[in-house]
Chain A
Amino acid sequence: MTKSTKIFKYVGKRLLQGIPIILAIVIINFFLLNLAEGDAVDVLAGEAGSATPEYMAQLRKKFGLDQPLPVQLMVYLKNVLSLDLGYSFRHDMPVNELIFDRFTATGLLMTSTIILAVGFGILLGLLAAMRLNTWKDAVITVFALITYATPLFWVGLMMIVVFSLNLGWFPTSGMTNIAAFYEGWDYVVDVARHLVLPTITLSLFYLALYTRMMRASMLEQYGQDYVVTARAKGLTERRITYVHVLRNALLPVVTMAGVQVGALIGGSVIVESVFAWPGLGMLAFESLFARDLNLLLGIFLLSSMLVVVVNLIVDIIYCFLDPRIEVN
């Protein structure tokens, strides 16, 4: 069997294994969320100022909340299997639509953050390891420590104060310029300008993590026997670093990135809240307080599916980085 057919079979097998895991997650989440006191009707009625008990009973009936829990679960599972995530009573919209809308914003922020954080993290870690115990190493290490230790919301607010209020380079918040309603290329530029501050804020934290990890991983690999062998063969330090050490040192970083992509899919409540970025994190956060369980379950389902997929991708990247690792 060639390598590529092997990979295809492996992917298929792993995806099949993912299905029972995702189902289990849905069922556990369903019961967990139903433990919370109050339901969507209470919140809606509370916000309305006053509502009669008859009205609330009527709403519960309409939403199907008057059914016993196992029945509600079966209805939900049936819907999920037909790719329908149900209806958000609070937003008066299908959950599919709501999540898709927010997922673009989250996807944009997530992708740019991961590229920035992993890219610069690897670069800085590499630099620090190659210049071990010089001032460059010291500066990078201190920078990583500080950004790692600073709370995200504070970094976000300081970014706004410096780059929006004082320098006026970037807008404070949102995803588009509300007053303008740009179209075409102007729209792309506009969104990009709004993306800068949240991306930097969110990546600073992860950047520090990858820098430290990459540095440690490089140093560990430098001490391995194969490096001694390579030197004995007469390879240049350059070649040893870039062809041999780097590839091996990347493995733990890729593992970590895989885990964090999973976490980022859920969105970052803090960054989304500070920059009013319309992502999934805020949606999940708000729907928890509104007891909008259908929506919350939908977001959890999407995240768990993506985590399964991302883990799979990470495993495949492994076997390209290290030919000794094989899929089967």
Chain B
Amino acid sequence: MKKILTSIFMAGSLLLGSGAVYADKSGGTLSFLVQPEPPTLASYVSTSGPIGLVMPKVYEGLFDYNNDGSMVPILAESYKASADGKTVTFNLRKGVKWHDGKPFTSADVQFSVMEVLKKVHPRGPNSFREVTSIDTPDEHTAIFNLKKPAPYMMRSFSAYESPMVPKHLLEGQDIKAAPLANKPVGTGPFKFVEWKKGQYIRLDKNKDYWQKGLPHLDRIVGRFIPDASTRTAAMENGEVLYAAYNAIPNIDAVRLKERDDIDVTTEGYSMINPMALIEFNTKEGPFVDPAIRRAISVAIDRRFMIDTIFFGYGKPATSALSSNFKATNLHAEMPNYPEKGDKAAANAILDKAGYKRDGNGVRLKAVLDIIPYGEDWRRAGEYLKQALGDIGIQLDLRYEDVPTWLKRVYHRYDFQMNVNYFYQLPDPVLGVHRHYGTDQIRKGTHFVNSSRYSNPKLDALLDAGAGEPDAAKRTATYKEIQQILADDMPVVNLFELEFLVVYNTKLKGAYDSAMGAYGSFREAYIDD
């Protein structure tokens, strides 16, 4: 009897104990850095980085993704694909309400995908290109009808990539001009309260959130601080607790890491997969010949660039695909990607191709454009000038402001080589195809095939890879794709960027989502 009493008592205290832990988690304000200030809050129209930092707290997707790649049910509780892969049925969560009190239903899903994401989202037309229609037999079921199987689609249901938006606030309006853009109404754990231009965006806890007990935080405030040193000082002073996408420059992050209360992680970017690279003009100018592009790839010391310019955060590229695609067996290591660079081999390639050095040791001259996104890229350009100078390619560097640079590269094709970085996203179909396909030579569209590389054989393989439901066959197809790209090198991939998250250790529970800073923060709490 005594034993039973003891165990009851213990169970009781355990319950009490867990209750106490639970109580500790709720409350508090999280200030985090949003850099730069976003242009609007319409995450269904623009994938611009700072919008992604704020809006996934307000809008939700059908699923979220964990660091191990598993899918977390959010607005959809489960999904089932038919045997031929051409219909996918989503069972939607019941009892979800928009922040204005209206119920969330399958009609919202249909409208979000067919009328919003497929039409006005920058990447939506690609993610959902096989979707022909969505049936809504009842309020909590949405059936996607596909032309062809689209395995990659299942990786694009996050709140950042494919936010679900309220049909009743957008229907019948010009979606790009609707007032919802700056007064967002979502289903997420936080409600939009105000946007003080030049200062902050304030989100407050959604008390009627469908998941009981969440979110823990009372409030999230995204702050804009233009100066990098001041951002670092604000982090040091505990005025902000979280900074992602290199809002704190690497040079300061390695210093802050030494403090007890601040830590750094590279997790939370695996769905983004940023890759640094050089685009070439393959139609005119000095880089029409693939041999030169191969020589450049061989000459570059990728390890040096990572260690010296990016403070060790990055991984040398070993193919046109990021090594993060190893998880889906799509990545294969390729030749012409030496980690430390091989200048002798590069010189040999150029000699063999018949590019002779003149009296000053110069084989050819070119202009290198540099992405105008900060000092690190300028230094990368300076390194390339030196490294390629050694193999007889004399570079002049050109650094312009964003609109001028975009016009030059993507509207006028008035460039020879261009340092840039691309998001490869969670599947090559979403992030890599746009760089190489003939159908992606789209004058005036940014961040697509500016090299104007066109290879019918590759196009066929890209098509096959996109619709291939069989994993082993897909692996083989992508291996062939990577071989062609390693040979022709329309783009020289440099290294996989590792962005940092710098955070105060009293902020907990914000690091499990593979979306990282583009996640919902619904489980984040402050542990004082």
Q: Are A and B part of the same complex?
A: yes
- Interface residues contributed by chain A, number (CB under 8 Å): 58
Cβ contact within 8 Å between B402 and A164: no
Cβ contact within 8 Å between A274 and B447: no
Interface window among A49-57, A69-77, A132-140, A311-319 = A49-57
Contact of A48 among B48, B196, B225 (CB under 8 A): B48
Q: B residues within 8 A CB of A283?
A: 197-198
A179 and B226 contacting across the interface, CB-CB below 8 Å: no
Kindly state whether residue B359 has any CB partner on chain A within 8 Å. no
B406 touches A272 (CB 8 A): no
**Min distance, Cβ A193 to any Cβ of chain B, angstroms:** 13
Interface residues of B in 1-47 (CB under 8 A from A): 29, 31, 36-37, 39-40, 45-47
**A4 → chain B closest CB, angstroms:** 41
Complex alpha-carbon distance, A278 and B237, angstroms: 20
For the complex, is A310 an interface residue (Cβ under 8 Å from B)? no
Highest count of chain B CB atoms <10 Å: which of A55, A174, A289: A174
The number of A-B residue pairs with CB atoms under 8 Å apart is 159
* Distance, CA A105 to CA B196, complexed state (A): 12
Contact at A273–B46, with CB atoms within 8 Å? Answer: no
Question: CB within 8 Å of B: which of A70-119?
Answer: 90-93, 98, 101-102, 105
A52 to B45, CA, bound (A): 12
Give chain B interface residues in 98-147, CB to chain A under 8 Å.
Answer: 120, 122-123
User: How far is B233's CA from A161's CA once the two chains are assembled, in angstroms?
Assistant: 8
Is the Cβ of B236 less than 8 Å from the Cβ of A165? yes
A52 touches B445 (CB 8 A): yes
Indicate if the CB atoms of B446 and A51 lie closer than 8 Å: yes
Q: Mark A275-291, 1 if CB is under 8 A from B, else 0.
A: 11011001100100111
The 25 listed contacts between A and B (C-beta, < 8 Å) are: A38-B404, A38-B406, A44-B46, A49-B123, A53-B442, A59-B176, A91-B40, A91-B197, A98-B197, A101-B197, A102-B197, A160-B229, A160-B230, A164-B237, A171-B237, A172-B230, A172-B233, A173-B233, A173-B234, A175-B199, A176-B199, A178-B199, A178-B200, A178-B223, A279-B198
A residues in contact (CB < 8 Å) with B? 36-39, 42-53, 55-56, 58-59, 62, 90-93, 98, 101-102, 105, 153, 157, 160-161, 164-165, 168, 171-176, 178-179, 181, 272-276, 278-279, 282-283, 286, 289-291
CB within 8 Å of A: which residues of B?
29, 31, 36-37, 39-40, 45-48, 120, 122-123, 176-177, 181-182, 196-200, 202, 219, 221, 223-227, 229-230, 233-234, 236-237, 239, 401-404, 406-407, 411, 423, 434, 442-448
With A38-B402, A49-B122, A157-B229 known, 20 other A-B pairs at CB within 8 A are A36-B404, A37-B403, A38-B404, A42-B406, A43-B406, A46-B402, A48-B47, A49-B447, A50-B123, A50-B434, A53-B444, A92-B182, A102-B198, A165-B236, A171-B237, A172-B230, A178-B223, A275-B227, A276-B230, A286-B37
